[in-house]
């Protein structure tokens, strides 16, 4: 039996006991023994999780329905705990009480995870999904509409968001209140989607959930508050959501950013909502400065000038590219990794630049590692430049923006 199914099996066994003849001694002993063993296993797994200093992964080795499994009555309704005399099931009852209390503690620990770590974790996972992504729907639509109007872009935001909610990605969020539901305007949604598209019965509920994590900027930009939603995703995304739902989340994020960029092309003043004022702020005295400084200096070294494919990748480009990379949504992640993985990050950036065509493709990773001289172990540094670099969350960003600063 898989460890992550232990709680589900325990719940299933205790529910199935309700249809068994527990007055039969053999049946009672068999059901009781099975439930006690599963309870012991579940307690052991949860205890090991709680013994860790912090939750460092949402891939918890248990499938947990926190809404029900942290409710003592959910477990106590089992007839297995009501067989007379009740002292016969007292040991199991005590285990269930202990398990419920531990699950509540675990739930609190997950909800209190550092938001920045949750963000980094999500971006790493979406970076893996990106490797299998195909041409996106918005890219096809954009090819058919080379000069989109603002109204069309607004409709694309509505259509994209509607499709995501229909996938059920917010299924595990708390049910909305009456006030939250009252704020949903389905008539606005229907105006933005295809006229023949049918909305599911629970769609207003899913819209109400999304409103907790979204807002409108400048009348045209539908924005997601990522800092708020990362905790939800960390808690549920990679254990409970399907692969299709995880892919839908990734594709939604990528396509929404594409739409935003097109909106800003039509109305440049809206760029402040996407990029904020940080593009003018100095990186000095921030945690972003060290990686920024060393990356830009690395890209000005003699070895880089020797191996680059075009002189357009000059000192000015190095300054602008490194600054933009660190001001991007991945800057904080890079800065955190820089503390302990300086050489790895340098290798990853070089590898991403090679993938983007900054170096000739016939130059081997080992040769770049040798010419750069960043690590004595050139073979190891060559590995960082290679496949490892393409698994980084910022690989796609570099591929897309490398020539923006020439």
Residue 57 has pLDDT above 70, yes or no: no
Distance CA 122, CA 114 (A): 12
Q: Could you tell me if 102 and 46 are in contact, meaning their C-beta atoms sit under 8 angstroms apart?
A: yes
Distance CA 257, CA 175 (A): 28
Distance CA 56, CA 49 (A): 10
Owner of token pair 């109400």? 208
Residue percentage of the chain with pLDDT more than 70: 88
Q: Which residue has the higher pLDDT, 371 or 22?
A: 371
Q: What average pLDDT score do residues 26-41 get?
A: 91
pLDDT at 18: 86
Whole-prediction pTM: 0.55
Where are the domains positioned within the chain?
Answer: 3-111, 115-275, 289-405
The bridge status of strand 214-217 relative to strand 221-224 is antiparallel
Q: Which of 246, 14, 299, 290 is nearest to 132 (CA)?
A: 246
Poorest-pLDDT segment among 51-60, 174-183, 320-329, 336-345? 51-60
pLDDT at 223: 92
pLDDT at 395: 92
Residue 349 has pLDDT above 90, yes or no: yes
Poorest-pLDDT segment among 4-8, 86-90, 285-289? 4-8
Structure tokens at 390: 């393409």
| Mean pLDDT of the chain, nearest integer | 86
* DSSP per position, 37-89: HHHHHHHHHHHHHHHSSS---S--SS---HHHHT-HHHHHTSGGGSPSSGGGG
Distance CA 192, CA 25 (A): 64
pLDDT, tens digit, 9 for 90 and up, residues 195-224: 999 999 999 999 999 999 999 988 899 999
Q: Which of 282, 286, 358 is nearest to 318 (CA)?
A: 358
DSSP strand E in 171-285: where?
Answer: 214-217, 221-224
* DSSP per position, 295-319: HHHHTTSHHHHHHBS-TTS-HHHHH
């Amino acid at each position: 039996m898989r460890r992550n199914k232990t709680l589900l099996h325990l719940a299933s066994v205790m529910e199935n006991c309700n249809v068994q003849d527990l007055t039969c001694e053999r049946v009672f002993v068999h059901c009781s023994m099975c439930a006690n063993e599963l309870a012991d296993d579940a307690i052991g797994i949860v205890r090991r999780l709680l013994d860790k200093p912090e939750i460092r992964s949402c891939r918890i080795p248990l499938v947990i329905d926190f809404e029900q499994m942290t409710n003592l009555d959910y477990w106590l309704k089992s007839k297995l705990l009501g067989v007379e005399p009740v002292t016969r099931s007292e040991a199991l009852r005590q285990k269930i009480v202990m398990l419920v209390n531990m699950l509540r503690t675990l739930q609190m620990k997950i909800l209190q995870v550092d938001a920045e770590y949750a963000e980094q974790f999500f971006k790493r996972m979406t970076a893996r999904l990106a490797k299998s992504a195909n041409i996106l729907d918005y890219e096809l639509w954009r090819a058919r509409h080379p000069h989109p109007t603002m109204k069309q872009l607004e409709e694309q935001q509505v259509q994209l968001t509607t499709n995501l909610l229909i996938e059920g990605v917010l299924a595990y969020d708390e049910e909305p209140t009456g006030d939250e539901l009252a704020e949903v305007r389905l008539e606005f949604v229907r105006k933005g989607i295809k006229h023949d598209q049918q909305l599911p019965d629970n769609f207003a509920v899913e819209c109400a959930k999304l409103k907790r994590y979204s807002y409108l900027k400048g009348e045209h930009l539908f924005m997601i508050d990522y800092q708020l939603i990362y905790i939800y995703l960390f808690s549920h995304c990679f254990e409970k959501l399907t692969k299709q739902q995880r892919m839908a989340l990734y594709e939604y994020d990528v396509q929404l950013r594409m739409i935003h960029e097109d909106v800003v092309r039509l109305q440049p003043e809206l760029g402040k909502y996407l990029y904020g004022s940080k593009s003018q702020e100095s990186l000095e005295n921030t945690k972003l400065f060290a990686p920024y400084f060393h990356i830009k200096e690395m890209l000005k070294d003699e070895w880089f000038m020797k191996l680059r494919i075009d002189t357009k990748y000059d000192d000015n480009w190095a300054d602008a590219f490194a600054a933009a990379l660190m001001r991007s949504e991945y800057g904080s992640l890079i800065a955190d990794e820089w503390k302990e993985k300086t050489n790895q990050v340098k290798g990853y950036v070089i590898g991403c630049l090679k993938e983007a065509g900054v170096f000739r493709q016939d130059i081997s990773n080992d040769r770049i590692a040798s010419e750069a001289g960043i690590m004595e172990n050139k073979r190891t540094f060559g590995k960082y430049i290679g496949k490892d670099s393409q698994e980084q969350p910022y690989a796609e960003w570099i591929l897309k923006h490398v020539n923006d600063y020439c």
